[in-house]
A and B are shown apart, each in its own frame.
Chain A
Amino acid sequence: MRRSVLLSLVGCFVLAAAAHAQDPRPGESITVGIEYNPAARPGLVVVPGVGIDSVRAIVRRDLDYSDRFEMIAVSDPGAGGSSTGPINYGLYKALGAEFAVEMADRAGKVIARLHDVNGSQIRYEVEATLPPPTDGGFRMAVHTLSDELVRRALGEAGIATTRLLLVLNGRVHQMDSDGFGLRPLTPEGQTSLSPVWAPDGRRFAYTRLGAGRGGIYVQTIATGETTQVPGTETALNITPAWSPDGRTIAYAHSDERGTDIFTALLGGGTQRLTVGRFADNLSPTYSNDGRRLAFISTRAGPPQLYAMGADGTDQELLAPFDYGVTGSSNAPEWSPDGAAVAFHREVQGTAQVHVLTVSGRKLRALTSAGRNEDPTWAPDGRHIAFVSDRSGQRQLWIIDSETGRVRQLPTPGRARLPSWSRRLAGAVIVPNP
C-alpha cells in the first residue's frame, strides 16, 4: 500500500525536478561571457525532511551558491525517503544525483549526512550543535556545515563561511556571502574607502578620508577598536593591501610629489617601493606567497597592471597592453592560489572585469554587460565579486568564473569597493569517527 503511493509520487517528482532544474529564478542565474558547461558538475539533491527547515534552506542555498553541483530540486518530504526513513538511492540516481545531503534534528543537535548515491552509502556524517536561530552566530554555524559537506564531497571546501566588506554611503559595511547580515562597521559622518580583510578575518584595513587627506586605519571587527597604520599620518594614503602573513600593509601615499607605493610594518617602520616622479603607482596586491606585489602604474601613460618584488625590485609589466589602444586598467587583486590576477580594464570606454593568468599571461574578460569593476576573489579562487551597474544602479554581483553564473547581492544604495574574506571560523564541528 505505502509502496504504491510512493511510486506514484516518484513519477510526479521526476517531472517536477526536471522542470525546476530548467527554471532558475530571474536575476539569479545568467550566463555572461563564458562557456557554460553544466554537465561537468555532479548532481546533488538535498533530501526533504521534517523540521529544521531554516537549516536545510540555508545549506541548500550554500550548496547551490558553491556552483559545484547540479542542484536537483525535490520538494515533497513524503517521497524518496526522509530524515527518518531510509534514503531512496535508486530514485536519486534516476534523477541524476551523485550526492544526497540529508539533515535531521536529533535531540537539539543537527545531524548532516552526505550520501554517495552511486555507492548507496553514507560518505560522511557529522553531528553539530548549532546556536539558536535568533543567535548572531547561527547562520555562520550553518554555513560551516555547508562548507564541510562540499569538502567531503569534492575535496575542497565551499565558500559559505565568508563575508564581504563593501562601502555604502561612505561607510564600510560587512555582509555574509549569501547576502544576509548587512551591517555598518565604520561610523557615520566620515568617508571610508577601500576596505580590505586582514588574513585573520578578524580585522580590516581601510582609508579614512577627511579634508582631502586620508590615513590608513585598522579596525578589529568584534570590538570596533581602530588604530592608524604608522606612516600614514600625513597627506593622502589609499588602497591598502595586507601581506599574507598579516604583518605588513602595502598602500599608496599621495602628495604633491605624486603617488607611490609604500609598505608599513604594523609594528612601525615604512619602506618606499616605487619612485614614480611624474607617474602614479597605486593599488598594490600581494601574491599568495607574499613575495610579489601586483600594482597599477601610469608610467607608460594610462594606468596599467605591473608587478614587482615585495621589496620593490624587479618591476615588470604584468598585463600586456597596446599603447594608445588598450583602455585603462585598475583595481587588481591577486587570486588566493597565486595563479591569476583579477582587475578591471576599460573596453570601449566601459570597465570590464578581466582575469590574467600569471604564468603565460593569458587574459580573459569575464564580463560584458554594463560597467563592471573592482573585482575581489572568493577563497575558492573561482568566484569573483565585483561592482556592476547592469541593473541600473551600482550593486554587488558575484560571478562563478567556471560556469559564468552570476548572482546579485542586493544592497540599499550604491555599493562600492568590495573585499571578499577568507573562510571565517564558524561553529565547532565534531565529526563522528
Chain B
Amino acid sequence: MRASSILGMVAAVALVTACGSKPEPEQPAPEPAPPPAEAPPPPAPPPTDDGRAAREAAEAEAARLRQLTTDLTSPIYFDFDRAEVRQGNDQSLLDRKAAILGVNPAVRMRISGHADERGSDEYNLALGNRRAGAAKRYLTGKGVADNRLEVVSYGEERPSNPGHDESAWAENRRDEFEVTSGGGKLAAP
C-alpha cells in the first residue's frame, strides 16, 4: 500500500523533473531567499516604452522565485516520538523539494531536526537527528546527491512555538530546511 503510493509519487516526480528543465530567465531577479549575507537585489530596470510589461514580468518572476524558495524551505512535521515522513502533504512537499533540487544542482541545504519539549532532553537530540536523517534519506531516494544535504539536530532546544500545549508541540516536531549555498537564481522544475 505505502510502497506502491511512494512508487507512484516517484513516477510523478520523475515526469515533473523531466519536463522541468527550462532556460534561465534573463530578467535580473530579486533574491527572496537566504543567505542574508548576499547583496540586496538590484533595482528594477528604469521604465521604458514597454516598461510596464517588463516590470510586470519581473514581478511575476520574483513571485515565482519566492515560491520556489518557500517550497524549498518549508518545514515538514512529525507525529509524537516518530521520525517517519508523513504521507500526504509532507511527502508532497519533499517531492517538490527534490524536484527543485533536481534542476538546481548548485543548491546545498541543511536539514535540522527538532522535537517538542515532552520527551527526554537528551533523547530529543537523537530524535531530531533521526527526523532530519529521514528527510535526507527521502530526498536522496529521489536522486538528490548525498553531499548536498547536511543533517543537524537541535532536539527541543529551539522551539518554533514557545507554548506548552498540543498545538505548540505539533509545530515544534519538525524538520527545517535551510539553503546554505547556491540559492540565488532558482530554476523551476
| CA gap between A213 and B125 in the complex, in Å | 10
| CA gap between A217 and B29 in the complex, in Å | 46
| B81 adjacent to A302 (CB under 8 Å) | yes
Q: With an 8 A cutoff between CB atoms, is A252 at the interface?
A: yes
| B120 adjacent to A328 (CB under 8 Å) | yes
Q: With an 8 A cutoff between CB atoms, is A351 at the interface?
A: yes
| B121 adjacent to A417 (CB under 8 Å) | yes
Q: DSSP class of A's interface residues: helix, strand, loop or mixed? A: strand
Distance in angstroms from A75 CB to nearest chain B CB is 43
Q: With an 8 A cutoff between CB atoms, is B112 at the interface?
A: yes
Q: With an 8 A cutoff between CB atoms, is A212 at the interface?
A: yes
| B123 adjacent to A374 (CB under 8 Å) | no
| A236-B153 contact in complex given A254-B129, A256-B132, C-beta closer than 8 Å | yes
Which B88-128 residues have a C-beta within 8 angstroms of A?
110, 112, 119-123, 125-127
| A256 adjacent to B122 (CB under 8 Å) | no
| B123 adjacent to A303 (CB under 8 Å) | yes
Residues of B close to A374: CB separation below 8 A: 120-121
A239 partner, pick from B112, B122, B133, B136, beta carbons under 8 A: B122
| A209-B130 contact in complex given A194-B122, A254-B125, A283-B122, C-beta closer than 8 Å | no
Distance in angstroms from B87 CB to nearest chain A CB is 18
| A209 adjacent to B157 (CB under 8 Å) | yes
| A282 adjacent to B123 (CB under 8 Å) | yes
| CA gap between A423 and B154 in the complex, in Å | 34
Distance in angstroms from B120 CB to nearest chain A CB is 4
Residues of B close to A328: CB separation below 8 A: 81, 119-120, 123
| A212 adjacent to B112 (CB under 8 Å) | yes
| A238 adjacent to B136 (CB under 8 Å) | no
| A236 adjacent to B120 (CB under 8 Å) | no
Distance in angstroms from B107 CB to nearest chain A CB is 18
| CA gap between A191 and B137 in the complex, in Å | 28
Distance in angstroms from A114 CB to nearest chain B CB is 42
Which B17-40 residues have a C-beta within 8 angstroms of A?
none
Interface residues on A, range: 20 to 34
B125 partner, pick from A238, A256, A416, beta carbons under 8 A: A238
A-B contact count (CB 8 A): 76
Which B122-169 residues have a C-beta within 8 angstroms of A?
122-123, 125-127, 129-130, 132-133, 136-137, 151-154, 157
| B152 adjacent to A211 (CB under 8 Å) | yes
Residues of B close to A330: CB separation below 8 A: 119-120, 122-123
Distance in angstroms from A375 CB to nearest chain B CB is 12
| A191 adjacent to B81 (CB under 8 Å) | no
| A191 adjacent to B157 (CB under 8 Å) | yes
**Total chain B interface residues with beta-carbon distance under 8 A:** 22
Q: With an 8 A cutoff between CB atoms, is A280 at the interface?
A: yes
Q: With an 8 A cutoff between CB atoms, is A171 at the interface?
A: no
Mask, A174-194, CB within 8 Å of B = 1, is: 000000000000000001011
Nearest neighbor of A371 in chain B, beta-carbon distance: B118
Nearest neighbor of B124 in chain A, beta-carbon distance: A330
Q: With an 8 A cutoff between CB atoms, is A373 at the interface?
A: yes
Residues of A close to B153: CB separation below 8 A: 212, 236, 254
Distance in angstroms from B35 CB to nearest chain A CB is 14
Q: With an 8 A cutoff between CB atoms, is A258 at the interface?
A: yes
B120 partner, pick from A191, A254, A344, beta carbons under 8 A: A344
| CA gap between A239 and B157 in the complex, in Å | 15
Q: With an 8 A cutoff between CB atoms, is A255 at the interface?
A: yes
Distance in angstroms from A159 CB to nearest chain B CB is 25
| A193 adjacent to B122 (CB under 8 Å) | yes
Residues of B close to A282: CB separation below 8 A: 122-123, 126
Counting from the closest, the 8 A-B pairs by CB-CB distance are A212-B152, A330-B120, A254-B129, A259-B126, A256-B151, A280-B126, A256-B133, A330-B123
Given contacts A212-B112, A236-B153, A328-B120, 9 further A-B contacts (CB under 8 A): A193-B121, A236-B125, A256-B132, A258-B130, A282-B123, A328-B81, A351-B120, A374-B121, A416-B121
Selected A-B contacts with CB under 8 Å, 23 pairs: A193-B122, A209-B154, A212-B154, A214-B125, A236-B153, A238-B125, A255-B129, A256-B129, A256-B136, A259-B129, A259-B130, A280-B127, A280-B129, A282-B126, A296-B123, A302-B81, A328-B120, A328-B123, A330-B119, A330-B123, A374-B120, A416-B121, A417-B121
